[in-house]
């Protein structure tokens, strides 16, 4: 489920897949053309002021992609759309990045992208997508027809970012025991979540409800107007499918083509969603251990990878391995290294190597995997991914579960999902102590919208495939496209998936209902 919390599993979608597959960076390319050709003109006097910003891709991956121009702008939107959206009142600044190919022709419009989270940067993901299909980015067929527009949703990264969780508390959260069995440990985790909620409430007060998904979906329509598109084309991964589905319900007649990849079932409550995710990660972990048994030459912890991982966690509970600057590879950090590696099949080999070297007293690989997931740098500094994740999820979540029920579910899920059940249960504590008012998103049909392509991956751990047909059914205009693959999200991983999505985005030809693509 994408409405995840601090100890649950934020779904960062496409960016996580790219970073893991590419070893946290992309190769250095020839600098793209940064001249003035194809400079877009503002659609109206009220349009945003675009300025070249080649420094954005340069900071992320070394430099921009060949033949791509990067321009940035900021638009102001109402802090609270439900207060009328007029000229008065507080404003939120939304950061935009537009990428245009020098080879563009027969331009259709803009393709707005969101990588998920909630809390993932759409500006960053647009940069990664601009590097072409050879590096896991968008095909040339798409970049020749669309401007690629990334945006940081309200509260995220460059867009009036929310920041209220100290780095020390994030370290404590990630490093905490993933299954606190004793009452003392459980109470300590409760206290940590209470502390975090109080700090965010003290800083933001009533404004916390304004980070809700529905507010961000309304921001998307302001972006559509700003870039001059009569109708919106959109590519949303993971939580981005929830954001896109919300938009489609609010503005169905403004939809041109929506691809929702890594589908979330918006009707799932917190408990059902958490259990679904626990089941999904257990299934993906089993797929990893089966792979180890089949390919021992690539898996140094074969033949019994499950035992190797669980023993590493057990050992860390008693005697964690110390790394640079005395940092300890606790059970929590090992758990998040496992989580990180399951987002893409390319991460399996990294996990096996990390557990193997950890047994030899070297935690570097474990920390690299966990830190990539947590967006933590070598100095212990975090981005605001998890602050935003909390703010959005808790604003969206209408009902609390209750501490006593969470404690009961922790025990029940330990039996059903031994590695992932307990932390997915205790992760629900986060919103128990969140002080803001709630603003749940709608969960109905997108009446009046054209067909919307809903993509699911059978081996997806974070948004299990079972959610795909449920989202399509809720929208009533959803067309299911299935990838029989591993990892989180599908497009553009194989030719079959790519061809189906490209034909829809460019020609508005959705795939046949229940089209299924092989893993390779």
Q: Where on the phi/psi map is residue 515: left (φ > 0), alpha (ψ -120 to 50), or beta?
A: beta
Catalytic residue (choose from 101, 238, 276, 430): 238
Q: What share of the chain is helix, strand, coil (3-state, %, to 5)?
A: 45, 15, 40
User: Is 167 among the residues known to form the active site?
Assistant: no
User: Is 5 among the residues known to form the active site?
Assistant: no
Catalytic residue (choose from 152, 169, 460, 502): 460
CB 290 within 8 A of CB 340: no
Catalytic residue (choose from 159, 219, 488, 502): 488
How far is 109 from 224, CA to CA, in rounded Å?
10
Strands 146-151 and 91-101: antiparallel
Give bridge partners of residue 110 from the DSSP assignment.
147
Rg (CA), the chain: 22
* C-alpha triplet 507, 511, 512: angle, nearest 5°: 135
Question: What's this model's pTM, rounded to 2 decimal places?
Answer: 0.91
CA dihedral 262, 266, 272, 274 (to 10 degrees): 50
Backbone angles phi, psi at 112, to 5 degrees: -80, 135
DSSP state of 326: G
CB 115 within 8 A of CB 122: yes
- Tens digit of each residue's pLDDT, the chain (520 residues): 333 333 344 444 444 444 333 333 333 222 233 333 333 333 333 579 999 999 999 999 999 999 999 999 999 999 999 987 555 568 999 999 999 999 999 999 999 999 999 999 999 999 999 999 878 899 999 999 999 999 999 999 999 999 999 999 999 999 999 999 999 999 999 999 999 999 999 999 999 999 999 999 999 999 999 999 999 999 999 999 999 999 999 999 999 999 999 999 999 989 999 999 999 999 999 999 999 999 999 999 999 999 999 999 999 999 999 998 899 999 999 999 999 999 999 999 999 999 999 999 999 999 999 999 999 999 999 999 999 999 999 999 988 999 999 999 999 999 999 999 999 999 999 999 999 899 999 999 999 999 999 999 999 999 999 999 999 999 999 999 999 999 999 999 999 999 999 999 999 999 998 899 999 8
């Amino acid at each position: 489920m994408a409405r995840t919390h601090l100890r649950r599993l934020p779904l960062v979608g496409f960016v996580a897949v790219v970073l893991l597959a590419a070893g946290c960076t992309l190769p250095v390319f020839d600098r793209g053309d940064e001249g003035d050709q194809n400079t877009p003109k503002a659609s109206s006097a009220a349009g945003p002021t675009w300025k070249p910003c080649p420094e954005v891709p340069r900071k992320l991956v070394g430099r921009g992609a060949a033949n791509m121009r990067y321009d940035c702008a900021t638009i102001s939107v109402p802090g609270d759309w439900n207060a009328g959206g007029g000229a008065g009142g507080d404003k939120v600044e939304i950061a935009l990045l537009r990428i245009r190919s020098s080879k563009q022709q027969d331009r259709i419009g803009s393709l707005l992208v969101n990588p998920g989270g909630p809390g993932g940067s759409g500006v960053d993901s647009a940069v990664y997508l601009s590097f072409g299909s050879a590096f896991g980015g968008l095909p040339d067929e798409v970049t020749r027809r669309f401007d690629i527009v990334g945006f940081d949703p309200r509260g995220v990264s460059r867009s009036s970012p929310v920041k209220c969780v100290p780095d020390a508390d994030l370290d404590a959260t990630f490093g905490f025991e993933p299954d606190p069995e004793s009452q003392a440990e459980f109470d300590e985790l409760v206290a940590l979540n209470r502390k975090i909620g109080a700090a965010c409430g003290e800083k933001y007060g009533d404004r916390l409800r304004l980070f809700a998904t529905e507010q961000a979906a309304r921001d998307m329509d302001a972006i559509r107007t700003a870039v001059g598109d009569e109708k919106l084309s959109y590519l949303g991964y993971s939580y981005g499918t929830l954001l896109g589905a919300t938009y489609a319900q609010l503005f169905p007649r403004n939809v041109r083509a929506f691809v929702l990849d890594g589908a979330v079932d918006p009707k799932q409550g917190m408990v059902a969603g958490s259990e679904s995710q626990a089941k999904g990660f257990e299934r993906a972990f089993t797929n990893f251990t089966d792979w180890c048994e089949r390919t021992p030459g690539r898996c140094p912890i074969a033949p019994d990878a499950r035992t190797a991982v669980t023993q590493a966690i057990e050992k860390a509970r008693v005697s964690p391995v110390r790394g640079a600057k005395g940092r300890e590879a606790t059970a929590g950090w090992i758990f998040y290294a496992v989580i990180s590696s399951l987002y893409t099949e390319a991460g399996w080999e990294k996990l096996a190597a990390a557990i193997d070297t950890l047994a030899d007293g070297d935690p570097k690989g474990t920390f690299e995997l966990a830190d990539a997931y947590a967006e933590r740098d070598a100095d212990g500094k975090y981005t605001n991914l998890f602050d935003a994740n909390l703010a959005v999820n808790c604003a969206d979540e209408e009902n609390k579960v209750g501490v006593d029920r969470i404690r009961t579910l922790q025990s029940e899920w330990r039996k059903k999902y031994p590695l992932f059940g307990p932390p997915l249960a205790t992760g629900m504590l986060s919103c128990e102590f969140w002080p803001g008012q709630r603003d749940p998103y709608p969960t109905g049909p997108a009446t009046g919208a054209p067909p919307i392509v809903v993509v699911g991956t059978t081996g997806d751990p974070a948004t299990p495939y079972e959610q795909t047909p449920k989202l399509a059914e809720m929208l009533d205009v959803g067309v299911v496209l299935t990838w029989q693959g591993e990892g989180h999200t599908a497009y553009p991983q194989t030719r079959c998936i790519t061809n189906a999505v490209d034909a829809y985005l460019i020609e508005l030809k959705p795939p046949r209902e229940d089209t299924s693509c092989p893993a390779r």
